[in-house]
Amino acid sequence: MSKQIDHVCDLCHKAVVQVHLQIYKGNTLHICLECNNNLTAELMGLELMPFQPGIYEFSGIRGKKYNFSIHRKINPIGIVYEANEVTKGDSPGFQIAVMDYVNCDQQLLFEKLKAKIKKAIFKRYLETSTAPYGSKVVSIKNREVVGRFEYDEDHDLPKLVIDGKLFSWEEFGRMLNSSEGFQFQLKIFDITDDII
């Protein structure tokens, strides 16, 4: 028996392994996301529309180009399309997702993802200005901010991603200095909820 390469899918022998399935008698099947989707769809009797996972380009404010790695996930409760901005360095960038029931119009769901990406890259919650003493100051526009929590392996507090950029709680706190005395409301939503 030949030795298998750990990082190549056991089914298609092309893509990188992302799913590890425990199967009969303790054996494990190491497969890529698309093979997992096809296997799940077959077991559910679901017909999948053609979809090519990969890098998609979108144009934002002033023609700035954004690249997103887009993939699909099929599970018993629904279909998810997820887009992660491809960034330089350690910045997590934008992360956008949509979800619907397994019997949904899959093309319409993918179009919804593209529309949500466009809204996200065009909407800005922060603005940068120059303080009287010459330094740059980042502040919240129109008293509203939307972002997401991101894991911080160096601290026991999450980081915040706003407008596709990473901020610490201290940096976010400085943005709130001009709001002293005001009330606020914090609501937390799933990544697939449409709040933008």
Q: Could you tell me which residue, 2 or 156, shows the higher pLDDT?
A: 156
The SS3 of residue 26 is helix
- DSSP E strands in the chain: the ranges are 19-22, 28-31, 54-59, 65-75, 78-85, 95-100, 126-130, 136-140, 147-150, 159-162, 165-167
For residue 45, is it within any domain?
A: no
- Least confident range of 5-9, 45-49, 93-97, 184-188: 5-9
Tell me what pLDDT residue 6 has.
Answer: 56
Q: In this predicted model, what pLDDT tens digit does every residue of 120-167 receive, in sequence order?
A: 999 999 999 988 888 888 999 999 999 999 998 888 899 999 999 999
Domain of residue 19, residue span: 1-34
Long-range contact pairs involving 134-139 (C-beta distance under 8 Å, separation at least 24): 138/171, 138/174, 138/175, 139/175, 139/178
For residue 139, is it within any domain?
A: yes
- Phi and psi of 143, rounded to 5°? 55, 30
For residue 105, is it within any domain?
A: no
**Matching residue, tokens 């929590």:** 149
Q: Six-digit token pair at 39?
A: 């296997």
Tell me what pLDDT residue 1 has.
Answer: 39
pTM: 0.85
For residue 78, is it within any domain?
A: no
For residue 141, is it within any domain?
A: yes
**Number of structural domains in the chain:** 2
For residue 194, is it within any domain?
A: no
Distance in angstroms (rounded) separating the CA atoms of residues 103 and 37: 14
The confidence band for 15, taking pLDDT boundaries of 50, 70 and 90, is confident
CA atoms within 13 A on the CB side of 178: 9
Does 187 have pLDDT greater than 50?
A: yes
Name residue 166's beta-bridge partners. 161
Length of the chain: 196
Tell me what pLDDT residue 3 has.
Answer: 46
Q: In this predicted model, what pLDDT tens digit does every residue of 17-76 receive, in sequence order?
A: 889 888 878 788 899 999 999 999 999 999 999 999 999 999 998 899 999 999 999 999
Does 4 have pLDDT greater than 50?
A: no
- Phi and psi of 151, rounded to 5°? -65, 140
Tell me what pLDDT residue 153 has.
Answer: 85
195 close to 189: Cβ distance less than 8 angstroms: yes
For residue 133, is it within any domain?
A: yes
**Matching residue, tokens 């990544």:** 191
For residue 153, is it within any domain?
A: yes
